[in-house]
A and B are shown apart, each in its own frame.
Chain A
Amino acid sequence: MTFSPELEARFEKLLRTYPPGRERGAMIPMLMYAQDEVGSVSQELIEEVARRVGVTPLQVQEVISYYSMLHPTPMGKYHVQICTNISCLLWDGDKLWEQACKKLGIGHKEVTPDGRISLEEVECIGACSWAPAIQVNYDFHHFVTPEQLDRLLDSLGKKQ
């Protein structure tokens, strides 16, 4: 499997970060950074990372099933994550979630037919004092109103 030169450089640095013989430590960061570039944690990626950190593909498989951010299938180009945990709930985060599901006609961890937007109801994302909060890919949006969410989803549907 080939990656961009930037990602290869990052991998090389990562593998030197952990104590000798403990390169397995790089596994989860490698999967996260690679997923950002190739879109999902595919079987091919699992085998590639296993080879690079010196474990079996099964050992990678058992790790990825534990972590909620590692996706075996691709999410949308814009992965919209809406927090409904307690602090966001108190500022109607649950209503934002319902609104997004209704507008897009998809549910939890589902992708629109054109592959542009996916939705996920997430647990606390660490934006509690600026609730309700959502994340689009890695970008935070704070104090989100229903009108802002509506405009955001419209713009993501058209954005190149």
Chain B
Amino acid sequence: MLYNEPSPLETRILSRRFGLPDSASIDTYLRTDGYKAFLKASGMTPEQIIEELKISNLRGRGGAGFPTGMKWSFVPRQSPKPKYIVVNADESEPGTCKDRVLMEYDPHQLIEGCLIAGLAVDAHKGWIYIRGEYRYLIEVMDKALAEAYEKGWLGKNIQGTGFDFDLYTHTGAGAYECGEESALLESLEGKRGVPRIRPPFPAVVGAFQCPTVLNNVETFCAVPPIILNGGKAFADLGVPKAGGTKLTCLTGHVNRPGVYELRLGFPVMQMIEEVGGGMRNGKKLKAFIPGGSSCPLLNAAECEGATMDYDSMAARKSMLGSGGVVVMDEDTCMVKAALRIMRFYAHESCGWCIPCREGTTWLRKILIRFHEGGGVRSDIDLMADISKNMLGRTFCPLGDAAALPTISIVEKFREEFEDHLNGKPCPFEHAGQMVMA
């Protein structure tokens, strides 16, 4: 059973098997064109595979949006070291729950994506790094892997192609930071998940110090349809500089929250009104997060005319991010929202870089005080100032991820901070005091 009803406005490419009977089984997969893309790719040269990805305009779906074909082309195939494939299934960006359904309903699509990546970069081993909380998905993936080994789609000389590939699951243990690629690699090696300095990038020095293709679950899942139907067909679904669809997690104050696969370039207001069934209780839209809590927020006016793609969001000084859309209505206290977001980053900062470790904690303290009515006017500019001083001063993007939404909230909803001043209680009845664990 699906967690939410599909929408007729979806373009179901990656999610086309969702809802089929026994959709996770290899039999269903093979009946519905499963592993045909791998067979096709095994007759292509690595350059042809990578070229097809470049034509598709597929960009990384974990949040950074880096062109996938280009990323794969950075792997030095001539290197004498083994090359590895690593799947980032450490889905932890607040607002994001799409990799979960991709693995739960169609695990073989992910396995096939890894196989094709192996062909493209001459890798013969890979790991799927799954966040610890998704234990049931380790069981789903382990079962799918066992089926694939049993039916000869993993292991030695796969289907007589002469290509060997082994794939394993690896569990995380609770750490947002491990979704950052270099921290993930540290964690995979059995260490604390602190980021590595780059360059060298993982394509050259990645897992176990070897060249590595590291992508998000959704990115790998897009590869089989691209190879099977051609890069152009995928590119045509999207917008000029970004091809295909995006699994979009609609969350917050809409009537029909859910995970929906939408073409890149889908209009924001149509997504809220028609896919999401409109605002809950007929309230007005106040704020919008396009792709996880690391993205700068848009106010309602900025959502008019905006589309769900990289360029439209960049033009509004935000990001498409991971697909975790958060919709907030007029009753939402933006100080409380800023505080909850900052509590998260302060908790998850790994402590490696001082601007992030100290900045997030300081901001959290100010926001707690502010929300409780103990703020002073200078705090408002101080919060913006601290945030701006964190930007670009850390090894990984977590510092920016904490600073960017804060800057946007302080700038766009300044009047709400002013309303909280001088011990005035929170103006929103709905937004009570927050429990501080």
- Is the Cβ of A19 less than 8 Å from the Cβ of B82? yes
Complex alpha-carbon distance, A79 and B182, angstroms: 31
Complex alpha-carbon distance, A27 and B93, angstroms: 25
Beta-carbon nearest neighbor of B293 in chain A: A86
Contacts of B252 in A (CB 8 A): 86-87, 90-91
- Is the Cβ of A131 less than 8 Å from the Cβ of B172? no
The stretch of A1-9, A65-73, A144-152 in contact with B is A65-73
- Check: A85 CB closer than 8 A to any chain B CB: yes
Q: How many residues of A contact B (CB 8 A)?
A: 52
Contacts of B340 in A (CB 8 A): 84-86, 89
Partner of A128, one of B173, B249, B432: B249
- Is the Cβ of B347 less than 8 Å from the Cβ of A130? no
- Check: B387 CB closer than 8 A to any chain A CB: no
Partner of A90, one of B132, B210, B253: B253
With A94-B434, A127-B97, A129-B259 as known contacts, state yes or no: A24 contacts B189, CB within 8 Å. Answer: yes
Q: How many residues of B contact A (CB 8 A)?
A: 64
Partner of A69, one of B127, B132, B257, B437: B132
- Is the Cβ of B344 less than 8 Å from the Cβ of A107? no
Contacts of A32 in B (CB 8 A): 132, 171, 173
The stretch of B21-29, B222-230, B324-332, B361-369 in contact with A is B324-332
Contacts of B190 in A (CB 8 A): 24-28, 53, 55, 63
| Chain A contacts with B in 23-56, Cβ cutoff 8 A | 24-29, 31-33, 53, 55
Complex alpha-carbon distance, A27 and B390, angstroms: 33
- Is the Cβ of A86 less than 8 Å from the Cβ of B97? no
Instruction: Write the residues of chain A forming the contact surface with B, with a CB cutoff of 8 angstroms.
Output: 17-19, 22, 24-29, 31-33, 53, 55, 62-63, 66-70, 84-87, 89-91, 94-95, 97-98, 101, 107-108, 121-131, 135, 138-140, 142
What would 10 more interface pairs be, CB under 8 Å, given A97-B435, A139-B136?
A29-B170, A84-B435, A86-B95, A86-B252, A86-B293, A86-B341, A90-B252, A126-B91, A126-B133, A138-B136
